[in-house]
Amino acid sequence: MAEKTILRALKGEVLPTPPIWMMRQAGRYLPEYRATRAQAGDFLSLCYNPELAAEVTLQPIRRYGFDAAILFADILLLPQALGADLWFVTGEGPRLSTVTTQADFDVLKPASEVHEVLSPIYETVKILSRELPAETTLIGFAGAPWTVATYMIAGRGTPDQGPAHALIAENRPLFEALLERLTEGTIEYLSKQIEAGAEVVKLFDSWAGSLSGADFDRYALEPARRIIAELKARHPGIPVIAFPREAGEKYVGFARATGADCVALDNSVSPDWAAANVQVDGCVQGNLASKHMVTGGDALVAEAREIVKAFSKGPHIFNLGHGITPDADPENVQLMIDAVRGKI
Average pLDDT over residues 8-17: 98
| Among 24, 181, 226, 245, the one annotated catalytic | 24
Residue 75 and residue 149 in contact, taking contact as beta carbons nearer than 8 Å: no
Is 24 a known active-site residue? yes
User: Alpha carbon of 289 to those of 243, 293, 301: distances in Å?
Assistant: 15, 8, 12
| Among 29, 33, 48, 151, the one annotated catalytic | 151
Alpha-carbon gap, residue 81 to 341, rounded angstroms: 40
| CB contact burial 9-26 (16+ within 10 A = b; e otherwise) | bbeeeeeeebbbbbbbbb
Alpha-carbon gap, residue 227 to 46, rounded angstroms: 27
Alpha-carbon gap, residue 56 to 47, rounded angstroms: 10
- At 121 the pLDDT is 99
- At 241 the pLDDT is 99
Q: Is 104 exposed, middle or buried (0-12, 13-18, 19+ CB in 10 A)?
A: middle
Residue 248 gets the label, from left (phi > 0), alpha (psi -120 to 50) or beta, of left
What is the band of 1 on the pLDDT scale with cuts at 50, 70, 90? low
Whether 2 shows a pLDDT value over 80: the answer reads no
Find all residues with CB under 8 Å of 227, minimum gap 6, and list them.
144, 145, 183, 186, 187, 190, 203, 240
Percent of the chain with pLDDT over 90: 98
| Among 8, 37, 63, 218, the one annotated catalytic | 37
| Among 8, 34, 63, 74, the one annotated catalytic | 74
pTM score, two decimals? 0.98
Encoded amino acid at 342, one letter: G
User: Alpha carbon of 225 to those of 8, 70, 202: distances in Å?
Assistant: 22, 22, 13
Alpha-carbon gap, residue 215 to 108, rounded angstroms: 24
Average pLDDT over residues 224-247: 98
Is 151 a known active-site residue? yes
Domains of the chain, first to last: 5-340 (3.20.20.210)
Residue 203 and residue 238 in contact, taking contact as beta carbons nearer than 8 Å: no
- pLDDT (tens digit per residue) in 110-147: 999 999 999 999 999 999 999 999 999 999 999 999 99
Is 74 a known active-site residue? yes
Is 156 a known active-site residue? no
| Among 8, 28, 95, 225, the one annotated catalytic | 28
Average pLDDT, the chain: 97
Whether 48 shows a pLDDT value over 70: the answer reads yes
Is 28 a known active-site residue? yes
